[in-house]
Structure 1
Amino acid sequence: MALVRNNATALYRQIADRLRDEIAARLFEPSGRLPTENEIGARFGVSRVTVRLALDRLEADGLIERRKGKGTFTAGKRVQHPLDRLRSFHESLRLQGLDATMRPLSARIVATPRDLREDFGPHCLEVCRLHLVDGEPVALGRSLLPPALEPVVWQAAGNKPIYGILQDIVGKPVGGADIEVKAAAADAEVAVALGLPAGAPVLVMDRRSVFIGGGCADRSVFHIRSERYSFILSHRWEG
């Protein structure tokens, strides 16, 4: 519907009201990203100044947030992670249509914790990767893996999930996982990686995955920005 140019309501207010209705209708899901200022201006046939006034109004009402160099997003947009399906952290992001990437931070051989020695032996591989959505960090993942994965070049692995890498190298698919989710305060390392102040609240997902037929596949801990992420568990009534 076109704007009413001779209406007493200013053009920027009409645009703000139109975008407000579209945000309420969830038309900008799943990423929450709004069109660029130029795209909005072309759509309504108005100047960039008018578009900015409309966005200023929505921002003042707490409906959108502007991220420098990234664009404009609906406020409070959260990534969702279903707990009733076995998916890697990265795969869960990608299946929501998000621009999800991973950045390798480190990979090294470490002493295996006592409870994993039966599966991994005295030493295992520790891999740290930063998970990003639209180029912004949402989670820091630290995984303990079988030492057979030591030759992996993690920079070259790109965005391939650990579950896929495990199957390629070990030759066995992951068949299940136990997951615990809790709240914590970000320590200095986590805070720097996620762009948070030290002590900020984060979600912690502790995951122990097993291969089909038995044996630990990985032990991973994800520190997650709580304002950007939520866990969803669906139940169905049976009886």
Structure 2
Amino acid sequence: MIWYETDLVDGPTPMWLQIAERLRRAVEDGTFKPGETLPGEAELNRRFGVSRTTSRAALDSLEAEGLIQRKSGRGSIVIEPRIDRPLNRLSSFSEDMRARDLKPSYRTRSLQLTLASQSVATELKVAPNSPVLEIDRILLADESPMATSLTYLAPVAFERSGLPTATTLDAGSLYHWLNEAAGVALTGGQERIEGAIADAATARSLGLKHPAAILICHRTSWTSANQPVEYVILHYRADRYSFQVGLVRS
């Protein structure tokens, strides 16, 4: 059904909610695509014969859901859907994106052997100043930046296979390379997530206007033998990511 095709109906469902549901379906079925503008309050008022308060409530509810962003002078802009990532599963960026029919890609900015700082050494359980591999990348979905990642790999990750090239890392998942080339399978991990305001450089890398909110994730991943292999600091776009975790009342 086209969002404006039939009139609203009197009944227990408020008018504003009926309008919001129609517009939500229109966003979900692609009638309104990311970057496009939804009908404004005046147009909704004319079409459905409702008050400005009713049409505003409908658009406010869609904004609260994260479907649109209301901008002065531009109206209600449909935004890209958020990526919902469960916190109880260790998965690669490419697995997360493909599960949502998005094409993952990578842009390696630097790749170098460096000496482990105290914090990195603690996470990877190696001696401070031990050699570790540092990888700085931008993670993209459908060519749109989603996150930056600064990864540190313990020596076990490259002692057998040698160092990967930037071209190799740009071609696919780091977890796939670890498994196939280094013979290292990551089976578990722990991560901590916090909100922050991106610095100017991070905002530019993620295609955001500074200042912008981001989510910072610190993750340490290990093998079945509980050997830490990867420590990564990820800066996610807060407007594109949300995290989910199941709760049990004890």
Structure-1-length-normalised TM-score: 0.68
1:141: which partner in 2?
Answer: 149
Instruction: Pick one of 21, 26, 29 that aligns with 1:27.
Output: 29
Distance 1:3 1:86 in 2: 40
Distance 2:148 2:39 in 1: 31
Q: Taking structure 1 as reference, are residues 174 and 19 closer, same or farther at Cα in structure 2, changes over 3 Å only?
A: same
Confirm or deny that 1:58 pairs with 2:39.
Answer: yes
Unaligned runs of 5+ in 1: 8-15, 37-54, 66-72
Written as runs of structure 1 = structure 2, the 5 A alignment for 1:1-239 is 20=23, 22-23=25-26, 26-28=28-30, 34=33, 56-58=37-39, 74-75=78-79, 77-114=81-118, 115=122, 116=124, 118=126, 122-147=130-155, 148=158, 151-235=163-247
Q: Quote the offset at 1:140 in angstroms.
A: 0.4
SS in 1 for 2:226: coil
Q: Taking structure 1 as reference, are residues 170 and 120 closer, same or farther at Cα in structure 2, changes over 3 Å only?
A: farther
Unaligned runs of 5+ in 2: 7-18, 42-58, 70-76
Distance 1:156 1:213 in 2: 27
SS in 2 for 1:158: helix
Q: For the Cα contact (< 8 Å) 2:186–2:222, is it kept in 1?
A: yes
Q: How many residues align?
A: 200
Question: Partner letter of residue 58 of structure 1?
Answer: P
Distance 1:219 1:56 in 2: 41
Q: For the Cα contact (< 8 Å) 1:207–1:221, is it kept in 2?
A: yes
Q: Quote the offset at 1:138 in angstroms.
A: 1.3
Question: Superposition RMSD on alpha carbons, in Å?
Answer: 3.6
Q: For the Cα contact (< 8 Å) 1:208–1:218, is it kept in 2?
A: yes
Q: For the Cα contact (< 8 Å) 1:90–1:161, is it kept in 2?
A: yes
Question: Partner letter of residue 23 of structure 2?
Answer: R
Distance 2:138 2:162 in 1: 19
Q: Residue by residue, what CA displacement relative to the aligned partner does 1:55-112 show, whole Å, maximum 9, x if unpaired?
A: 64437756657xxxxxxx8436211111111112332122122232221111111111
Q: Residue by residue, what CA displacement relative to the aligned partner does 1:24-80 show, whole Å, maximum 9, x if unpaired?
A: 6x335xxx98399xxxxxxxxxxxxxxxxxx64437756657xxxxxxx84362111
Q: Residue by residue, what CA displacement relative to the aligned partner does 1:110-166 show, whole Å, maximum 9, x if unpaired?
A: 111232362797111110111112222110011001341652122233342222211
Distance 1:81 1:159 in 2: 23
SS in 1 for 2:33: coil
SS in 2 for 1:118: coil
Structure-2-length-normalised TM-score: 0.66
| Percent identity over paired residues | 24
Q: For the Cα contact (< 8 Å) 1:126–1:142, is it kept in 2?
A: yes
1:70: which partner in 2?
Answer: none
